[in-house]
Structure 1
Amino acid sequence: MSARLSLAGLQAHPDTGGLRRIAGPASAAWDDVVVESSESDLLPRTVATLAVLMSAAPTTPWQQDALLRRIHERGYRGVAMPGAAGFDPGAQRLAERLGICVLDVEKPIPLARACWMLLQAQDALTLAHVRKVAQSFEYTARDLPDLLRQVSANLGYALALVDETEILHQAGGELDPGLLPAIDFRPWVDFARTDGQAAASVRVDSPSRPGLRLVVFGEGLGESQLASLSVAAEVAMPAIAARILIDEVAEVNDVSASSALLRDFVDARGLADDDVERRMAERGWRTAGHHLGFRMIGRGRLDPLRLLRAVRAGLAGIGAEAHVTTAGRGVSGWLAFSATPAPAAIEGHVQGLRALHGEVARSFAVATGVGSLQRGPQGLATTLDEAADAARIAASRSATGWFVRVDSLGLEQLLLAWTGNDTFVPAAASLLAPLDDAGPDLRPTLSAYLDHESSLVATAQALNLHRNTVALRIRRVQELLGLDLSDPETRLAVHLACRAVRDR
């Protein structure tokens, strides 16, 4: 014997012949197991023992009482047999008083095998788990969640793929959130336990997704079970890592195709194009009906694919048909409606996008713009352009939480469109060129100074500088450009030039 056999650990085993507790302590544990044909074959025991009987339980109450008393007198603290579910309530109360755990089992042989593995045959238990994991790979999985489901179903235990902050995928059960902080992510193999669950985990060797662990978990798992399941997790891990890589390559290819498609659609300004319309339809992207475009861009360097994953997850709670893909240094998408939505509904969806922006902003430095409600394919192209303009403006609007809705812009939207034309941008770049030649700090300082209404204090706070430093830089800017920024018209022209060059 290498360990005690607990009822909880036995119930956690995937094949115990249909075991059910009928009476007795739920916390029962035994030092040994004896398998016999009937109660009359049981010999006296000096240690806590579970009796597994092949014969069916007696059906009359007096026979059941007599069986329990004889078992108790011989030193047994548990009995499993077919038909034990039919024990009379009086017999069940007697079992409670005697401290005998009564178990009903449909198939005693699988139960006896499970007891043997858990008590005396660690290697056999491990081999059985490994064999079941190997059988999971006989069929091709559609994706990572499908592979986890296959392994979990064959192994008979729940699986989860986690990192240090969240549960990414799970199959066969729900991982106790309190178990995640108990997992040590440093060693190759780790065992963790809470009051409700226990888990064996192994580090996933994935170069593209570091910090992942594959977790096998369940309730009532003993140390021998956790040790065996850790080996099973090690066997499953390479296939999990390979599946992650395969899915990521497929995701990158799909996102690249969808991004190119959206670019083709916007370049065509929503005008009829049979090839674009066919590709949009194949992807399930709605162009008919009404649309509300949105655009989310980085206010610094970020991975657009990671941003896309976060946005897609958040769009599930918007309550509208949504489409989104990467575009440049951010993501673009739209909400689609088959019928004209009421103004209150539109306001609700805009607030949903604002909440999504706030959620994403916890992990990414982003600015978000929302277009106006438009109709049809050309309207879709329009609202996407509006959202892009609003996002560029939002990138300099900390006062609005880096979120701008194009309907609220008015004149500024017209000025942005005008300053983005091919005539103005080169002229603006030429005007500001002396600042770039003088160093990297002057143009950003000028832009922030004008965005903050020529306030030295607000600019210094925004750039984390002393106000005297800002004042010196602005004086140097005026000298290099030969301009007086106290003049309103000059200040407006320079401000538009900064916006045009920065946005381009």
Structure 2
Amino acid sequence: MNRTLTLSDLLAHPQNGGLRIITGEPGISLPEAFVESAEDRLPWNNLGDLAVLTIAPPSDAWQQDALIRRVRDRGFGALALLDADRFGVGTRVLAGRLGLALLHVDRPMELAQAWWQLREGRDSLMLSYVRKAARSFEYRAEGVSDMIGHLAANLGHGIALVSREGVLAQSGGILSAGLLSEIDFAPWLDTARSAHGCVASVRVDSAGRSGLRLAVFGQGFGEVQLGALAMAAEVMMPAVAARILIDEVAEVNDASVSAGLLGDFLEKRSAPDLDLERRMLDRGWGIGGYHLGFRMVGRTRIDALQLLRELKRYLSGLSADWQAVTLGEGIAGWLNFPAPLRQNDLEAQVAALKAMHVEVRRSFNIATGIGTPDSGPTGLAETINGASEAARIATQRSATGWFVRMDALGIEQLLLSWTENDTFVPAARSLLAPLRESNAELVPTLGSYLDHESSISATAAALGLHRNTVAARVSRIQELLGLDLSDAETRLALRLACRAVAG
């Protein structure tokens, strides 16, 4: 191979001996490299080559100036040597005026080897990358992200697992959106360079997930290095694909266990089950404190596991602890808080969940429901079931963007949500909460009053109370609820709510 290298090519090599520019531009050409112990051993030439000296420079400024002049007089365009960062300002200015790039290097022989690999030994460079990648697999990886971290650390370059939608995992650097856009997802191997950097990528041959690529990226790669990295990426890809498959199997198993556990918990919410709660705690689920449940269901057939992956990206950016699992044809989850939320904080959390819903709907045809805030293990079941009911209503509510919040439902919506099952309970509890908080006797009084066709006398007889007591309670109920009990639909809704709570 006969190709002129540039200084930037050497700077991009992961094993360049600790090369740093003191003066000069990274774009200068370095046709050849010569390694000697002293400048008088360097040949005479006019090609602007790289001179690498293995001894430290003199300490006196006039001697440093003399060294710079002698190397430049021999026709070299760049000088790399130990302790070049000790050169004084005057010497650096002189080097710049003479057109000599002054470079510091910690390990001169390693720099020479890097130059040779880039200039003459492409196969050697590629094999070097492959050996480093192979060493990465000696370390136990907890997942694909961990494996990519090992690869990046050993290769000395950024590595990312990407799709057209974005970066799924990366280490050793940040793959910019601009450089990601330069990747061609069609061919098996692809290399690209732009103002954003350089990248070599290979299609990931995964049966579980399509459209993925393994990319190695950085700045200033020459053609030789970029080509070697592309081949190294091809060698690394099967191990990464296998790790993805292992992770997917584990993810499916974990999702199945989580769904079963949550399903059992929701079924037994009225009777505390300490074993269930212990298993939930073992999985790191927050079941104490205060909760806000949410539920996403598909309006058409969806991949619930893929939806869960997408949700986790957004949930990780929230300011609350969270949990989400696949459940039926969708996702059930909750936010967990150590203390009750103030109204403003609650509104902010609901707004964040709605923003997540809007973003996810770009890829999934879903409806989302938000439950009523509640506390403790029993409250967790209530808020999730309330969210499930709200989600069911949301599937028919295009006017609200397929998003419904249970505690924002009015009387009419409560009637529409009644389906003769206990998912109505959270909404009923929320509606009757002012009565329960004021006086424990008000809810049964209201239920009896409505069951007896709004008759004060009949209610008093049924409850064994004086009619004046019942009349006072009914007046208090209307005041607390702010509802007109003479309205037929209002009475029906309240009667259903009382029965749901009593049940």
Q: Counterpart amino acid of 1:368?
A: T
Pairwise CA RMSD of aligned residues? 1.5
Match of 1:288 in 2: 288
Query: Which secondary structure state, in structure 2, belongs to the residue aligned with residue 58 of structure 1?
Result: coil
1:417 deviates by: 5.5
Corresponding residue for residue 187 of structure 2: 187
Quote the offset at 1:133 in angstroms.
Answer: 0.7
2:331 corresponds to:
331
Where does residue 203 of structure 1 map in the other structure? Answer: 203
Cα deviation digits, residues 382-403 of structure 1 (max 9, x gap): 1111111110111110001111
CA contact (8 A) 1:25 1:100 kept: no
Shift of 1:416: 4.7
Number of the residue aligned with 1:477: none
Map of 2:346 onto structure 1? 346
Does residue 159 of structure 1 match 2:167?
A: no
Specify the code of the residue in structure 2 equivalent to 1:235.
Answer: V
1:82 maps to what in 2? 82
1:321-367 per-position Cα deviation (integer Å, ceiling 9, x unaligned): 11111111110111112211112111111111111111111111111
Q: Say which SS state the counterpart of residue 372 (structure 2) adopts.
A: strand
8 Å contact from structure 1 (residues 389, 416) kept in 2: no
Match of 1:464 in 2: none
| Alpha-carbon shift at residue 86 of structure 1 (Å) | 1.2
Aligned match of 2:114: 114
Greater mean deviation of Cα atoms: 236-245 or 288-297: 288-297
Match of 1:357 in 2: 357
Post-superposition offset of 1:413: 5.2
What is the deviation of 1:412? 4.2
CA distance in 2, matches of 1:346, 1:24: 58
**Kept in 2: contact 1:366–1:402 (CA 8 A):** yes
CA distances 1:282-305 after superposition (whole Å, capped 9, x unpaired): 011122222111111111111001
2:230 alignment partner AA: S
Partner residue of 1:497? none
Q: Residue 418 and residue 219 in structure 1: after superposition, are their counterparts in 2 closer, same or farther (change >3 A)?
A: closer
Residue in 1 that maps onto 2:494: none
CA contact (8 A) 1:270 1:380 kept: no
Q: Deviations over 1:432-480 (max 9, x none)?
A: xxxxxxxxxxxxxxxxxxxxxxxxxxxxxxxxxxxxxxxxxxxxxxxxx
Count of matched residue positions in the alignment of Structure 1 and Structure 2: 423
Quickly say closer, same or farther: Cα 1:143–1:270, change in 2 above 3 A: farther
**Alpha-carbon displacement from aligned partner over 1:77-100 (angstroms, at most 9, x marks no partner):** 001111211111111011111111
SS in 2 for 1:62: helix
Q: Distance in 1 between the 2:403 and 2:167 partners?
A: 29
Letter in 2 for 1:304: A
CA distance in 1, matches of 2:70, 2:25: 19
Query: How far has the Cα of 1:2 moved from its partner?
Result: 2.1
Paired residue for 2:16? 16
What are the residue-to-residue correspondences of 1:203-242 with 2, within 5 Å?
203-242=203-242
**Whole-Å Cα distance in 2 between the matches of residues 373 and 270 of structure 1?**
17
Identity of aligned residues (%): 52
The equivalent of 1:366 in structure 2 is 366
2:397 — aligned with what?
397
Segments of structure 2 that go 5 or more residues without pairing to the other structure are 423-487, 489-503
Aligned to 2:141: 141
Contact map agreement 2:289 2:339 (CA 8 A) in 1: yes
Instruction: Find the aligned partners of 1:420 and 1:408 in 2 and give their Cα distance.
Output: 21
Kept in 1: contact 2:394–2:404 (CA 8 A): yes
Q: Is the 8 A contact 1:50 1:79 kept in 2?
A: yes
**Gapped regions of structure 1 (runs ≥ 5):** 423-488, 490-504
Helix, strand or coil at the partner of 1:56: coil
CA distance in structure 2 between the partners assigned to 1:247 and 1:361 by the alignment: 26
- Counterpart amino acid of residue 362 in structure 1: R
Asked if the contact 1:270/1:377 (under 8 Å) is kept, the reply is no
Corresponding residue for residue 100 of structure 1: 100
- The residue identity in structure 1 corresponding to 2:389 is D
AA partner of residue 33 (structure 1):
A
SS of aligned partner of 1:190:
strand
CA distance in 2, matches of 1:354, 1:385: 18
Whole-angstrom distance in 1 between the partners of 2:328 and 2:249: 19
1:253 aligns to 2:276 (yes or no) = no
Question: Take 1:361 and 1:267, find their aligned partners in 2: how far apart are those partners?
Answer: 29
Question: Using the alignment, how far apart are the partners of 2:244 and 2:115 within structure 1?
Answer: 36
Q: Does 1:383 align with 2:383?
A: yes
CA distance in 1, matches of 2:150, 2:140: 10
Q: After superposition, give the CA deviation of every residue in 1:217-267 in whole Å (9 maximum; x if it has no partner).
A: 110000000111111111100000000000011011111111111100000
Distance 2:169 2:344 in 1: 36
**d(CA) in 2 for partners of 1:392 and 1:286?**
25
Q: Secondary structure at 2:164's aligned position in 1?
A: coil
Whole-angstrom CA distance in 2 between matches of 1:196 and 1:100:
28
Aligned 8 A contact 1:389 1:413 in 2: no
**Displacement of 1:414:** 4.0
Scaled by the length of structure 2, what TM-score is found?
0.82
Structure 1 residues 381, 413: closer, same or farther in 2, change over 3 A?
Answer: farther
- The corresponding residue for 1:71 is 71
Whether the 8 Å CA contact 1:77–1:101 is kept in 2: the answer is yes
Whether the 8 Å CA contact 2:393–2:417 is kept in 1: the answer is no
Output the CA distance in 1 between the equivalents of 2:367 and 2:394.
5
Deviations 1:411-433 (A, max 9, x none): 345435543349xxxxxxxxxxx
Q: Which letter maps to 2:411? A: L
Asked whether the equivalents of residues 12 and 219 of structure 2 are also in contact (C-alpha less than 8 Å), the reply is yes
> Matches of 1:195 and 1:418 in 2, distance apart?
60
The 1:421/1:86 distance shift into structure 2, 3 A limit, reads closer
1:131 corresponds in structure 2 to: 131
Report SS of the residue matched to 1:206: coil
Query: Which residue matches 2:460?
Result: none
How far residue 28 of structure 1 moved from its aligned partner, in angstroms, is 2.0
Write out per-residue CA displacement over residues 122-165 of structure 1, whole angstroms, 9 at most, x where no aligned residue: 11111111111111111121100100010111111110111122
Judged with a 3 Å threshold, the aligned counterparts in structure 2 of structure 1 residues 412 and 239 are, in CA distance, closer, same or farther, namely farther
Report the equivalent of 1:301.
301
CA–CA separation in structure 1 for the residues paired with 2:37 and 2:368: 73
User: CA 1:296–1:174 in 2, change beyond 3 Å: closer, same or farther?
Assistant: same
Q: Deviations along 1:297-321, whole A, 9 cap, x unmatched?
A: 1111110011111112111222111
SS of the residue corresponding to residue 373 of structure 2 reads strand
Equivalent position of 1:492 in the other structure: none
Could you tell me whether the CA contact under 8 Å between 1:326 and 1:332 is conserved in 2? yes
Please state whether the residue corresponding to 1:362 is helix, strand or coil. Answer: coil
Letter in 1 for 2:51: A
The corresponding residue for 1:25 is 25
Distance 2:330 2:135 in 1: 42
Contact 1:201 1:213 in 2 (8 A): yes
- Secondary structure of the corresponding residue to residue 133 of structure 1: helix
Partner of 2:60: 60
Q: Give the SS at the match of 2:285.
A: coil
How far apart in 1 are the matches of 2:242 and 2:392? 39
Name the SS of the counterpart of 1:335 in structure 2.
strand
Q: Distance in 1 between matches of 2:318 and 2:299?
A: 24
